[in-house]
Structure 1
Amino acid sequence: MNVADISKKRYTTKHYDKSKTIPAEQIEQLLTVLKNSPSSVNSQPWHFFIADNDAAKAKILPAILEFNQSRVTDSSHTIIFAVRTPLDEAHLHNLLQQEDKDGRFPSADLKSAQDNGRHFFVKQNSATPQTQFEWESRQAYIALGQLLFAAASLGIDSTAIEGYDAVKMDEILGLSAKGFKSIVIATLGYRAADDGNAHRPKSRLPDEQLFTRL
């Protein structure tokens, strides 16, 4: 199946089959996709909290709006996306050291250039804590898109969820003390037989309203 076909077949799952669990090997593939997702200046401002059992799902359920709760309880895995608040100097130093360890710098000059360039772009997007949070969130949504498409390529269904109480989620997971703030959730699993969304045709605006060739 080519990538266009995958995009045509993927849809937002409304009802999951609770009896089906994603194989561990495929979950590891999806976590690798999250790990390898691109971010501006390789800032990697994210952390992913994974609920893959009933106890973990029950723990976060009070933060999920009622109409989304079954998508958490019945799916195989739920992933909470969080970003750093703030994106501090310790994180930037850790990134640089990891890049150096991974052999990305053939010379000291390239290491310095990477460090200076990343600091420049972080500063450009950190006029206030809110603007920094918004910039980090945009990076995390790139990872979300990667995850949804990768899951579809493996025949795994998914739902992106913004219908939750972020303040309550952050409180449940103790994110403030850890220097994070949640921004979005993704559930992963397999559609239920009665998932009506599976049978509805995909609806998108026509090409002439979406694309302009320059």
Structure 2
Amino acid sequence: MNLNDIIRTRHTSKAYDNSRKLTADQQQQLLDLLRFSPSSVNSQPWHFFAVTSDEGKQQILPALMEANQVKAQNAAMTVVFTIKEELNEAHLLQLLEKEQQDGRYDSEEARAGNDKGRRYFVGLNSETPEQQREWMTRQAYLALGFLLLGAAAMGLDATPIEGFHPEKMDEVLGLKEKGLKSVVVATIGYRSDADFNATLPKSRLDQDVVITQL
């Protein structure tokens, strides 16, 4: 299936078949989608919780709104997207060292220049702690979009979920102790026959309403 077909056939799944599980290879592909997601200045201000076990599902269910609990129960994987409470010096240095290890710098000048540029853009979005968290949340949503499209390309169904209680999710996953905050959730798996949204025609506003070409 090509990209044109994928974007026209993917949908937000409303019900999952709990008898269908992911293979180890599929799970790894989904984890790779998350890890290789784009972020502003490669900031990667996130941590993802990939929930596939029954124990893990039971742990997060109380944090989901009732209408979404059955999705997480039946989906093959639920991903909780979290951001750092603070994009601190240790994280910036960790990014720089990893980029060095991965061969992104051919000179000390290139390394220093990239570090300076990243710090500048982080600073632009960090006048207050709230502004920085909002900026980091936008990065997490980039990863969410990357995951949704990638899952569809793999022939999987997915559901982005904002219907959850962040404070409760933070509690059940012990996020405060880890310096993290939950921002959004997604379920992935195979739709069931009860997924009414799978058979409905896709509806989007016309191109000339939402796009201006200059």
Same-fold call, TM > 0.5?
yes
Q: Quote the residue 2:111 is aligned against.
A: 111
| Matched residue type, 2:74 | D
Tell me, yes or no, if structure 1 residue 20 matches structure 2 residue 44: no
Q: Quote the residue 2:168 is aligned against.
A: 168
Q: Residue 86 of structure 2 aligns to a residue in which SS?
A: coil
Q: Quote the residue 1:66 is aligned against.
A: 66
Q: Deviations over 1:10-38 (max 9, x none)?
A: 00000000100011101111111111111
> CA shift at 1:199, angstroms?
0.9
> CA shift at 1:3, angstroms?
0.7
Q: Residue 120 of structure 2 aligns to a residue in which SS?
A: helix
| Matched residue type, 1:37 | S
Q: Quote the residue 1:34 is aligned against.
A: 34
Q: Quote the residue 2:126 is aligned against.
A: 126
> CA shift at 1:186, angstroms?
0.6
Instruction: Provide the rounded CA distance (Å) in 2 between the counterparts of 1:54 and 1:190.
Output: 17
Q: Quote the residue 1:142 is aligned against.
A: 142
Instruction: Provide the rounded CA distance (Å) in 1 between the counterparts of 2:110 and 2:191.
Output: 48
Instruction: Provide the rounded CA distance (Å) in 2 between the counterparts of 1:153 and 1:38.
Output: 17
Q: Which moved more, 1:21-30 or 1:83-92?
A: 21-30
Instruction: Provide the rounded CA distance (Å) in 2 between the counterparts of 1:152 and 1:37.
Output: 15
Instruction: Provide the rounded CA distance (Å) in 2 between the counterparts of 1:212 and 1:115.
Output: 35
Q: How many residues get paired?
A: 214
Instruction: Provide the rounded CA distance (Å) in 2 between the counterparts of 1:175 and 1:143.
Output: 19
| Matched residue type, 1:136 | M
| Matched residue type, 2:8 | K
Instruction: Provide the rounded CA distance (Å) in 2 between the counterparts of 1:34 and 1:48.
Output: 8
| Matched residue type, 1:189 | G
List 4+ stretches of structure 1 deviating above 3 A.
none
Instruction: Provide the rounded CA distance (Å) in 1 between the counterparts of 2:205 and 2:134.
Output: 27
Q: Residue 158 of structure 1 aligns to a residue in which SS?
A: strand
Instruction: Provide the rounded CA distance (Å) in 2 between the counterparts of 1:142 and 1:193.
Output: 30
The answer for unaligned runs of 5 or more in structure 1 is none
Instruction: Provide the rounded CA distance (Å) in 2 between the counterparts of 1:207 and 1:9.
Output: 18
TM-score (structure 2 length as normaliser): 0.98
Q: Quote the residue 2:197 is aligned against.
A: 197
> CA shift at 1:133, angstroms?
0.5
Tell me, yes or no, if structure 1 residue 80 matches structure 2 residue 80: yes
| Matched residue type, 2:27 | I
Instruction: Provide the rounded CA distance (Å) in 2 between the counterparts of 1:162 and 1:154.
Output: 23
> CA shift at 1:124, angstroms?
0.5
Q: Deviations over 1:60-115 (max 9, x none)?
A: 11100001000000000001000111011000000000001111110000000011
Q: Quote the residue 1:177 is aligned against.
A: 177
Q: Quote the residue 2:8 is aligned against.
A: 8
| Matched residue type, 2:125 | N
Q: Deviations over 1:148-199 (max 9, x none)?
A: 0000011100000000000000011111111110000010000001211111
Instruction: Provide the rounded CA distance (Å) in 1 between the counterparts of 2:58 and 2:34.
Output: 24
Q: Percent identity?
A: 50
The root-mean-square deviation of aligned C-alpha atoms, in Å, is 0.7
